[in-house]
Chains A and B, each alone.
Chain A
Amino acid sequence: MGLCNMPLPMNPLPPPARPLSGPTLPSARWPTEAFAPVDAWALMRGEPLPAGVRHRAAWRQACADVARDPLQLEAHARRVLLACMAQERLQADGPRQASPGQAPFVYERVHVFDALVDCFLALGSRGRGFRAALLERGRLWLDDERHDFLARHLPDGLSPQDALPTYGTALLDPGLIGLPVLVRQLQPLPFDTQAVVTELAGEPDAAPQAEPASSTET
Chain B
Amino acid sequence: MPLSTANLLTAAPAAAAGFSLGGDYFVHPTPAGTYFAVSRPEDDAGRRFLQGLLAEAQTPALTVDALKAWTFLDEQPALAFLERLQAAGHVQGLPQAMQAPAEPDATLLPALLSQLSDEGKAVLADAGGLMLAAVGFKHAHSEQVAALAAELAALQRRHAGLRAQMGLASDGWGLVSAAGYSELSFWPLYVGASRFHLVVSGQPRFNQQAYTRLVWALAQRHAARA
Contacts and interface: CB of A to CB of B under 8 A. Distances in A.
B115 interface: yes
Contacts of B26: 178
B129 interface: no
Interface residue range, chain B: 35 or more
A: interface residue count bin:
35 or more
A50 interface: no
B17 A187 contact: yes
Contact of B208 (A67, A175, A182, A216): A175
B95 interface: yes
A63 B118 contact: yes
Contact of B84 (A34, A103, A170, A197): A197
Interface stretch (B40-48, B158-166, B184-192): B40-48
A173 B30 CA distance: 11
B176 to A, nearest CB: 10
Interface string B100-144: 000000000010001100111100000000000001110000000
Nearest to A104: B120
A148 interface: no
Of A182, A186, A201, A203, the most chain B CB neighbours within 10 A belong to: A182
Q: Chain A interface mostly helix, strand, loop or mixed? A: loop
A168 B208 CA distance: 7
Nearest to A208: B87
Nearest to A201: B46
Contacts, number: 181
Interface string A125-153: 00000000000000000000000000000
Contacts of A211: 87
Contact of A187 (B16, B46, B211): B16
B89 interface: yes
Interface stretch (A6-14, A20-28, A39-47, A188-196): A188-196
Given A171-B207, A181-B93, A197-B84, A203 B46 contact: yes
Given A178-B95, A186-B17, A208 B88 contact: yes
A200 B7 CA distance: 11
A71 interface: no
A182 B21 contact: yes
A31 B203 contact: no
A178 B93 contact: yes
B36 interface: yes
A93 interface: no
Contacts of B86: 180-183
5 contacts: A169-B118, A182-B23, A183-B21, A183-B82, A201-B44
Interface of B: 8, 11-13, 15-23, 25-28, 30-32, 36, 42, 44-47, 62, 79-95, 110, 114-115, 118-121, 135-137, 169, 177-182, 201-203, 205, 207-212
Given A101-B136, A196-B80, A197-B88, 10 more contacts: A31-B179, A60-B118, A60-B181, A106-B119, A170-B207, A175-B211, A176-B30, A177-B92, A200-B11, A211-B87
